[in-house]
Amino acid sequence: MIELYTAATPNGQKISIALEELKLDYTVHPIDLTQQEQKQAWYLKLNPNGRIPTIVDKSEHNFSVFESGAILIYLAEKTGKLLPKDSKQRSRVIQWLMFQMSGVGPMQGQAHVFYRYAPKKIPFAIKRYQNETHRLYSVLNQQLQGKDYIAGRYSIADIATYPWVVSHEWAGVDLQGLPRLKSWLKRMAARPAVIKGMQIPVDDPLSKKKPDTKELGKAIITH
């Protein structure tokens, strides 16, 4: 049994999608970012960085894992799925996972902040992060030439990337000139596990807040 501590953000949705794809039994513990629950002492014992998501593998003596990319690798290795065993194919998947972790997530995350939540609009910052996010999307679009999925076969690289790219409008980034990326989004959105995983946690406090409230903005920035 996996205990999942999460919230309705792209990084949290990665893990719920993976758990659904892998058909693992798990229990959801919504973390209220608006109340800074992720900074409380009990949670910091699980995740010293005070962010979501975190998992606790009850079947492995309550082994805890934080950082969404590390969680995806752990779950893939635990089940022997979504991460190839061949060393070169495995490396390709991990390369694209790291591309999301070091590029798409941080850059688009900053685009979210400056475009939606910053108390003062800074055009230079908005344009910088939107442009860099679109550039990274262009890299994905090129990589998808002749492929249905980012690393060839469906993998944790796709799972990590989808929740971010599907929220491109929230960052003010369009998909103009990226036809393969658009097609990939449609393929991903049609997967039952993706549909269900994107809706978890159902009772997340973030989903009950108006998206433009200052409280939600603070939660997103500090999660």
Give pairs for 121-126: CB < 8 Å, separation 24+: 126/172
For residues 17 and 162, the answer to whether their CB atoms sit within 8 Å is yes
Q: What is the reported pLDDT for 202?
A: 83
pLDDT in tens, the chain (223 residues): 999 999 999 999 999 999 999 999 999 999 999 999 999 999 999 999 999 999 999 999 999 999 999 999 999 999 999 999 999 999 999 999 999 999 999 999 999 999 999 999 999 999 999 999 999 999 999 999 999 999 999 999 999 999 999 999 999 999 999 999 999 999 999 999 999 999 999 866 555 444 443 444 554 554 5
In order of 91, 155, 195, 215, the CA distances from 22 in angstroms are: 20, 11, 14, 34
Q: What is the pLDDT of residue 203?
A: 66
Cis preceding linkage at 48, omega within 30:
no
Structural domains of the chain, ranges and CATH numbers in brackets:
2-81+196-222 (3.40.30.10), 87-191 (1.20.1050.10)
Residues ≥6 apart with Cβ < 8 Å to 139: 99
Strand ranges (E), the chain: 2-6, 26-30, 54-57, 63-66
pTM score:
0.92
